[in-house]
Amino acid sequence: MNVGLITIGNELLSGFTTDTNSAWIGQSVLEVGAEITWHMTIGDQYKHITAALDQVPEDIKVVLVTGGLGPTHDDITQKTLFEYCDAQSVFDEDYWNILKVRMEKRAIVMPEINKNQAIRPNKGSVIPNNLGSARGLHLNNDRMDVFALPGVQREMKDMMSNTIIPWILNKTKSKIYVRTLRTTGAMESVLAEKLVDVTDDTRPVTVAFLPQFTGVDIRLTCPKKNPLIEIEEKIRDRVDKYVYATGTVNLEETVGDMLVTCGYTVSTADSCTGGRIGPR
């Protein structure tokens, strides 16, 4: 399945925010047999969003959109998608009351500007947000399914994992099995040398070395599950000490989990970054 991705946000274009969502989304859909084959980043403008949707290639029937679902004046994704997919806005009184109660428990009065987050389409559906107030959207304009998600990464990941990834998995006709071994402590050339006789002929499994800032990902893809498992076992026999996780789990998460499990904490003494190392 070919999937399109539109990331919306002036902050992405200006460089004030690094687009880490796209990389995570790309890896996540790949693991269920789909692939991001077209991607565009645009600003928070009606004409740019509609122009991007008009440019989606014909072979793409599913488009993921991130960003622009908040309550401020520049969050226009919802309104634009409603018009593009010929959907009408319906105020969801029940959800608005849920939001107000949620805020009251935190001693916060919900501003009236947040009412747009209680809007739902008269056709299509909303995607629950377990970690925030802006719900996602699932719309269809008879040519493609459009999923809209918040740009906040933890909210986006939750919606992708619980709603969209299962939907894509159910729609995927030809399955592709993917396994990503995340390594650190060894350069790409070192890993390749240790695995040279393993990777000489891995058919039908495709093996790719993908350098990252913290290490090298070894990605295995195959239309069948058993050959992939066999190659993974051979690779682990050689380089397992460098593998810290699989899938999309990053090194920071792995180290954090190890610290929590061991009951350790981390202290920092910083005189060079103005305290910026602490939040990270």
Q: What is the pLDDT of residue 194?
A: 94
Mean pLDDT, residues 122-145 taken together: 89
* Residue-averaged pLDDT of the chain: 88
Is residue 198 over pLDDT 80? yes
Once rounded to an integer, what is the mean pLDDT over residues 230-251? 92
Q: Does residue 74 carry a pLDDT above 70?
A: no
- How far is the C-alpha of 47 from the C-alpha of 53, rounded, in Å? 10
Contact 215, 251 (CB under 8 A): yes
pLDDT of 196: 92
Q: In terms of pLDDT, which residue wins out, 148 or 114? A: 148
Per-residue pLDDT of 21-68, as tens digits, reads 898 898 888 878 888 999 999 988 899 999 999 999 999 999 999 988
The pLDDT assigned to 278 comes to 66
Which tens digits make up the pLDDT trace of 156-190? 999 999 999 999 988 887 777 888 999 999 999 99
Residue 147 in contact with residue 64, Cβ under 8 Å?
yes
The pLDDT of residue 102: 82
Measured CA to CA in angstroms, residue 4 lies from 93, 143, 246 at distances of 33, 13, 25
